[in-house]
Amino acid sequence: MTNAREDKQSGKKELLAKTKSKLASLRYGRQTHTAKLIAVTGVHGKSTVVRLVAELLRESGAKVVEMMAGNGVPRSFETDPFLMHRRLADASRQGYDYIVLEVHAALIASHVAPSLVIDTLVATEDSPELHELCKLPLTRLVLPHGVTPPAGVEHHNIMTFGTEEAADMRIAAFKLYRKGTELSLVIDQHTELEVASYLVGEANAMNIATALATVYVLGVDVARFAEGVARVERIEGNYDYLTVAAPYAIAVDHGGTAQSLPLLLGSARQLARRRLIAAVDMPLTAAETETLKTMVDRLIMVGDGQHSSVESASDHEEAAFVASRGAKKDDLVLLIGQRYTVYDDNSRPLIEAMVGGIRE
């Protein structure tokens, strides 16, 4: 009886959400929107790809607005269809050519997505959100190589990316530097391209390829690619170096998910001149923790006694203090977790003030 009542209540909520989305699209005239909507989804890299795509389009002369929802923001456009459609209508009214939208699971759960007219869907990797959005009418599609595209999108409007030989935007090689990344790409099996970015790490190399695949399928001139990528000098929470007067380097990264950490630490390992010390403020399984231990010289986990085989700290500040206090000349200290990537009004990480006074 209880399950039946819950199912009925759930059905009512779903019907109400769908009705609100439909009313919002009618109220703000979605069919009259002139700005093309680019939706970016995936588990990792969404915010970075949104920024890169927007700057590449701006470099081509287009007028672009980015839409990224903050965590825990009340009345987010992802869950409020009237706010979403009002912002889309405002963008068209103000003469924007493109809207680049970051899509989270909340947008799917709120049933706002079916009321949108998506021109280009971009997936940083396979995800449940991708499969839901692929049910909608789409004009263009950007996917990791190996992910099966849905029916209905013409072949010439599909672009794949990756390191595989058959990828449409193929990363032929990349080189990591402490303050950037260089990529050699092959487009459509024949056009070779060299780009340099201020963004650091292997994950960002893939983010750059994703963004380039997106603007390529939109028809942006390849000659604009290098300058467009170079426009993005920094992204908060994305391998962001702190400004500290110390003989070692400290960087912060939000970390994404446990599955993305080996890629992050693998890049950091290559960039560390000496030792790699990591403080991790994320819930991990024992197996995940053991994997990370093999990739660093010293690992401090937040949470007393979370895993007996590693050092632990009671909170993220203590972990940062322990990691920084133990660093020596040419070491790299990497602070991983959302609380390390909280910024002040001057776009400086709050943790910087705490570790900035530590000296060797």
In the chain, what are the domains? Answer: 2-230 (3.40.1190.10), 240-355 (3.90.190.20)
Region of residue 306 (left: phi > 0; alpha: psi -120 to 50; beta: else):
alpha
Q: Along the 360 residues of the chain, how does pLDDT read in single tens digits?
A: 556 555 555 555 555 556 666 665 655 665 566 899 999 999 889 999 999 999 999 999 999 999 987 654 555 777 787 888 888 889 988 999 999 999 988 888 888 888 888 999 999 999 999 999 999 999 999 999 999 998 889 999 999 999 999 999 999 999 999 999 999 999 999 999 999 999 999 999 999 999 999 999 999 999 999 999 999 999 999 999 999 889 999 999 999 888 889 999 999 999 999 999 999 999 999 899 999 999 999 999 998 665 667 899 999 999 999 999 999 999 999 999 999 999 999 999 999 988 875 544
Strand 120-123 to strand 36-41: parallel, antiparallel, or no bridges (unpaired)?
parallel
For residues 249 and 237, give the distance between their C-alpha atoms in angstroms, rounded to a whole number. 16
Tell me the CB-side half-sphere exposure of residue 265, using CA atoms within 13 A: 26
Q: What is the pLDDT of residue 332?
A: 97
Q: What is the pLDDT of residue 72?
A: 47
Burial 116-141 (b: 16+ CB within 10 A, else e): bebbbbbbbbebebbebbbebebbbb
Output the CA angle 260-261-267, nearest 5 degrees. 100
For residues 75 and 358, give the distance between their C-alpha atoms in angstroms, rounded to a whole number. 40
Q: Tell me, what amino acid is at 197?
A: S
DSSP summary character for residue 139: S
- What is the DSSP annotation of 236-302? TTSSEEP--SSSSEEEEE----GGGHHHHHHHHHHH-SS-EEEEE-S---HHHHHHHHTT-SEEEEE
Q: What is the pTM assigned to this prediction? A: 0.89
Q: CA separation (Å) from 169 to 41, 219, 256, 278?
A: 18, 14, 24, 33
Q: What is the pLDDT of residue 24?
A: 59
Handedness of CA 43, 44, 47, 50 (dihedral sign): negative
Q: What is the pLDDT of residue 359?
A: 41
Q: Residue 319 contacts by C-beta under 8 Å, 6 or more apart in sequence?
A: 279, 280, 281, 300, 301, 302, 313, 335
For residues 271 and 26, give the distance between their C-alpha atoms in angstroms, rounded to a whole number. 52
Handedness of CA 264, 267, 273, 276 (dihedral sign): positive
